Amino acid sequence: MKKFPLLRSLALSLALLTTFPSFAAVKKEFRICWTIYAGWMPWGAISNEKIIDKWASRYGIKINIVQLNDYIESINQYTAGQFDGCTMTNMDALTIPAAGGVDSTALITGSYSDGNDGIVLKGTGKTLADLKGMDVYLPELSVSHYLLVRGLEKAGLQEKDVRVVNTSDADIVSAFGTDSVRAAVAWNPQLSAIKSTPQTSEVFSSSQVPGELIDMMVVNTQTLADNPALGKALTGAWFEMMGKMQAGDEAALSAMASDAGTDLAGYRAQLNTTHLFWTPADTLKFVSSSDLPKIMQRVAQFSFDKGLLGQGAQSADAIGISFPGNVTQGDTSNIKLRFDDSYLKMAAAGER
């Protein structure tokens, strides 16, 4: 029996040794992961309807789109080098792969939360100011936490005026069902379940900070530089699906709705609070605007205040972020997160 832990540890270490990030290489096969969220459901449809295969074969490559169940775990897997790309928010892209030294590119800034995240209090007619002195239940260090801090700022309060209780996003709905929980921050679909509780008021939502919680497709910068075909295929497939959705393709939307565990009406309601960019031109306008660096500055400051940029970080500028048009922010010698517009430009110009 003594032998087994030994064998297992050796096997495990071998597995870890072989998974270290690979370097500059032209590859033919890629792995992309995504998780369930209103703004990412198109990736499932792109995979199911073989749209990705069509675009990938055009460039002679193969792209496997894999759905994972745990959001944070999917980002960790991407950061560890198991996937070439993954869906994540702007904040998590900065604090997990970028802070972990994995140079990452936001290839498609697909949408931003326009009401998909919200702060809900029990009782009717409540306002943000009522948060003072309350216990607030939310997944700590997540976009919900960021939204709370932004809300408190707007109400002239500080984070120390409330007590944050870390609650996993999977349990937030049942937590809100208990009497002791009076305030919670959540995202959809949990948010809509919480808001449907009688006698509650939503005192703040992401629609009041438009463009700050961005949901994107992030790809390893090195892999993208070595394999431009990956960027072209992903961008092309994404906007083909956007075109279908904008045209109201019921079959595609119903498939996404059932994958998201709701019906067509329910999914349409979620899309109403998700600001999707339908065309490459719209996306291009968003990533090129001068607001984006300001938003990222704010997100970086929040992340630094919470210690999310790592202990070596001396300031919110420790990790450099680049934007289209040679705009950079933070440490230019340590650029780890890049907002890219080259593939969007190609898509906008109709190039293939």
Partner 1 sequence: MRHINRHPRQGMQIVLMLLPFVLIAAAWFMGSAVRLEANPHDKLLPGLGQMLDAVQRMAFTPDKRSGDYLLWTDTAYSLIRLLTGLGISALLGLAIGIMAGVVPLLRASLSPLMTVISMIPPLAILPMLFIVFGLDELSKVMLIVIGITPMLARDLEQRAREIPAELFIKAQTLGANSWTLVLRVVLPQLLSRLITSLRLLLGSAWLFLISAEAISATAGLGYRIFLVRRYMAMDVILPYVIWITLLAWLMDLALRQLHKACFPWAEGGRA
> Exposed, middle or buried: residue 37 (CB in 10 Å: 0-12, 13-18, 19+)?
buried
State the minimum distance, in angstroms, from the CB of residue 271 to partner 1: 27
> Exposed, middle or buried: residue 8 (CB in 10 Å: 0-12, 13-18, 19+)?
exposed
State the minimum distance, in angstroms, from the CB of residue 302 to partner 1: 13
- Residue 142 or 200: which CB sits closer to partner 1? 142
- Residue 157 or 175: which CB sits closer to partner 1? 175
Q: Are 87 and 104 in contact (CB under 8 A)?
A: no
State the minimum distance, in angstroms, from the CB of residue 275 to partner 1: 25
- Residue 197 or 254: which CB sits closer to partner 1? 197
- Residue 243 or 261: which CB sits closer to partner 1? 261
* Binding-site ranges for partner 1 (CB under 8 A): 2, 5-6, 9-10, 12-13, 16-17, 20-21, 23, 72, 76, 79-80, 95-96, 99-102, 137, 139-142, 160, 163-168, 171, 174-175, 177-181, 308, 310-311
State the minimum distance, in angstroms, from the CB of residue 79 to partner 1: 6
CA pair distance 189, 15, nearest whole angstrom? 36
**DSSP track, 317-332:** TSSEEEETTTEEES-G
- Residue 168 or 326: which CB sits closer to partner 1? 168
Q: Are 234 and 346 in contact (CB under 8 A)?
A: no
**275: enclosing H helix or E strand:** strand 274-276
- Residue 100 or 324: which CB sits closer to partner 1? 100
Beta bridge partners of 329: 321
Torsions phi, psi of 249, nearest 5? -60, 105
Task: Mark residue 201 as left, alpha or beta (left: phi above 0; alpha: psi -120 to 50; beta: remaining).
Answer: beta
Distances (CA, A) of 39 to 42, 275, 314: 7, 8, 34
What count of other Cβ atoms lies within 10 Å of the Cβ of residue 203?
19
State the minimum distance, in angstroms, from the CB of residue 148 to partner 1: 15
State the minimum distance, in angstroms, from the CB of residue 352 to partner 1: 34
State the minimum distance, in angstroms, from the CB of residue 294 to partner 1: 23
Structure tokens at 300: 């970086």
- Residue 65 or 91: which CB sits closer to partner 1? 91
